[in-house]
């Protein structure tokens, strides 16, 4: 048996529990500020994480794991690197290991969710569904413990009997995990049901691995002193807090809780500084307001449609403007630096021009790419070849087109691959003094060609090259940016 040894200790700790939609970066940082020793992120599904790429966000000072649709699935930063545990939902050992290796250099530990009773988790064999498959549990945890250098933990619920629960926990202990978090309720029980402190205590006394007690928000935990009382009642090594921390993150503060207005302002500051999505920010603030959500301020929060709107609700407009301006200045500075670096590193034979594509300047169905392709056919050149790169900093695109052994590109970065390719085509056409299809150009020939009568069904591939011109005039893949070391 291999036991991972690291600086992260799970004894005598107060811990922010993993909570869906709540355990994002602003809440984790706020909990650390108020005294939490360890913070868990919300459960993230392995299949979703496998599609993500790691991006260093120099503007925000974060490491982002970004989905193909450009949504940030997981965002972390240096401040929490030694304290954040990444919780995943998984039902497969190899997938779990792949995800753990993707994130392990940016987190302090890895946790497997084995206690969530919600359908979105259990229907994939994850969460509480794993409790009935001890062999699969053993496989997943053993694979992780042996495969990564960070500590591995898991979070479970109790089984129908104390004996069954202890038997499972002993099996888990043998895998070499660093700690076991136990939510003291059965999978069919909900927060209004009493937490079974006696079962957690029996588990704590039956194993030597640290046991983290969870589930005391309803019955025990109202302020900081209650954390010790819950720990004593369960004989656990540490205490993990969920809903009590969601309502009041300053529950971790030894000196006592902070006023709600102060907590909300500190949370919003983190949300703006790290560009947390406004819907997630709004959700977390609603949990903090609780019964106040029906007052005038709460109703304004419900109506908010952006971080700026949220800041206006809580009279923080000046902070939003100042922070946004700072981030934008940082973004422009980095873009300028990247542009200078690119210009110095690129081959001298690339012809560059400051041009953008605006589809409003062109007739329907007429584009610069089409004009360039038609010209190449007429002159019997090879079709234009497009090579497009994506900049991880802001996920903008730039394309280089090669025509007759000469390369052309725009100096601007675009929001999409298609726009970048059109801009590259414009740079080529203007350099060669060719019409690009604008309303002001004499594009009648090309427009008439596009609008000629339908010749009828295709026979033996007739006219096929004309119908697929757009599909074959570009390379079908992205190439990595040579100067970028941000993505792995």
| CA 62 to chain centroid | 11
**What pLDDT score does 205 carry?**
97
Tokens 């302020």 map to which residue?
223
**What pLDDT score does 378 carry?**
94
Q: Which residues contact 358 (CB under 8 A, 6 or more apart)?
A: none
Reported as a single tens digit per residue, the pLDDT across 38-73 is: 999 999 999 999 999 999 999 999 999 999 988 999
**What pLDDT score does 392 carry?**
77
Stated length of the chain: 488
Q: What is the pLDDT along the chain (488 residues), one digit of tens a residue?
A: 344 445 799 999 999 999 999 999 999 999 999 999 999 999 999 999 999 999 999 999 999 999 998 899 999 999 999 999 999 999 999 999 999 999 999 999 999 999 999 888 898 999 999 999 999 999 999 999 999 999 999 999 999 999 999 999 999 999 999 999 999 999 999 888 999 999 999 999 999 999 999 999 988 899 999 999 999 999 999 999 999 999 999 999 999 999 999 999 999 999 999 999 999 999 999 999 999 999 999 999 999 999 999 999 999 999 999 999 999 999 888 877 656 555 554 566 899 999 999 988 899 889 999 999 999 999 999 999 999 998 877 788 999 999 999 999 999 999 899 999 999 999 999 999 999 999 877 544 444 444 444 444 434 333 333 333 333 334 333 333 333 333 32
Interatomic CA distance for residues 65 and 165, integer angstroms = 35
| CA 150 to chain centroid | 21
**Phi and psi dihedrals of 433, rounded to 5?**
70, 35
Q: CA 190, 234, 154: angle at the middle one, nearest 5?
A: 65
Round the CA-based radius of gyration of the chain to a whole number and report it: 28
**What pLDDT score does 41 carry?**
98
Q: Which residues on adjacent β-strands are paired with residue 87?
A: 111
> For the residues of 422-488, what is the DSSP string, one character each?
HHHHHHHHHHHT-----TTS--HHHHHHHTSPP--S--TTTTHHHHTHHHHSS-SS----TT--S--
**What pLDDT score does 120 carry?**
83
Average pLDDT over the chain, rounded to an integer? 88
* Cα within 13 Å of Cα(487), Cβ side: 18
Percent of the chain with pLDDT over 70: 86
**Phi and psi dihedrals of 162, rounded to 5?**
-60, -40
Catalytic residues: 116
């Amino acid at each position: 048996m291999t036991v991972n040894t690291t600086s992260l200790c799970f004894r005598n700790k107060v811990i922010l529990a993993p909570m869906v939609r709540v355990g994002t970066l602003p809440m984790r940082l706020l909990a650390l500020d108020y005294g939490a020793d360890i913070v868990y992120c919300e459960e993230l599904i392995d299949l979703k994480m496998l599609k993500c790429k790691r991006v260093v966000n120099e503007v925000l000072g974060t490491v982002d794991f970004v989905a193909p649709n450009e949504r940030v699935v997981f965002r972390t930063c240096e401040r929490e690197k030694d304290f954040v545990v990444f919780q995943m939902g998984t039902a497969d050992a190899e997938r779990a290991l792949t995800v753990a290796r993707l994130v392990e250099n940016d987190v302090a530990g890895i946790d497997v969710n084995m206690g969530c009773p919600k359908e979105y988790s259990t229907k994939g064999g994850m969460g509480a569904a794993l409790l009935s498959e001890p062999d699969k549990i053993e496989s997943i945890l053993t694979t992780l413990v042996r495969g990564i250098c960070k500590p591995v933990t898991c979070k479970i619920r109790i089984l129908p009997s104390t004996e069954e629960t202890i038997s499972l926990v002993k099996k888990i202990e043998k895998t070499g995990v660093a700690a076991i978090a136990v939510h003291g309720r059965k999978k069919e029980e909900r927060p209004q049901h009493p937490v079974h402190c006696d079962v957690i205590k029996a588990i704590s006394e039956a194993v030597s691995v640290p046991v983290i007690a969870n589930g005391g928000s309803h019955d025990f935990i109202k302020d900081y002193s209650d954390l010790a009382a819950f720990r004593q009642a369960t004989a656990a090594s540490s205490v993990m807090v969920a809903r009590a921390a969601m309502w009041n993150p300053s529950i971790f503060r030894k000196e006592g809780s902070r006023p709600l207005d102060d907590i909300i302002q500190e949370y919003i500051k983190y949300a703006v500084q790290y560009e947390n999505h406004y819907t997630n920010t709004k959700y977390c603030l609603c949990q903090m307001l609780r019964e106040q959500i029906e007052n005038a301020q709460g109703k304004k929060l419900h109506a908010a449609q952006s971080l700026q709107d949220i800041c206006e609700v809580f009279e923080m407009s000046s902070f939003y403007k100042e922070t946004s301006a700072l981030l934008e200045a940082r973004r422009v500075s980095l873009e300028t630096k990247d542009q200078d670096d690119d210009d110095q590193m690129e081959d001298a034979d690339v012809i560059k021009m400051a041009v953008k594509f605006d589809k409003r300047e062109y007739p329907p169905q007429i584009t610069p790419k089409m004009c360039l392709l038609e010209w190449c056919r007429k002159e019997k050149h090879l079709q234009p070849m497009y090579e497009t790169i994506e900049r991880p900093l802001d996920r903008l695109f730039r394309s280089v087109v090669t025509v007759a052994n000469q390369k052309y590109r725009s100096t601007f970065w675009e929001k999409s691959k298609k726009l970048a390719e059109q801009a590259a085509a414009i740079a080529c056409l203007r350099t060669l003094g060719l019409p690009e299809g604008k309303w002001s150009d004499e594009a009648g020939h090309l427009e008439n060609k596009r609008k000629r009568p339908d010749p009828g069904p295709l026979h033996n591939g007739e006219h096929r090259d004309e119908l697929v011109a757009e599909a074959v005039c570009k390379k079908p893949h992205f190439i990595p940016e040579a100067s970028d070391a941000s993505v792995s």
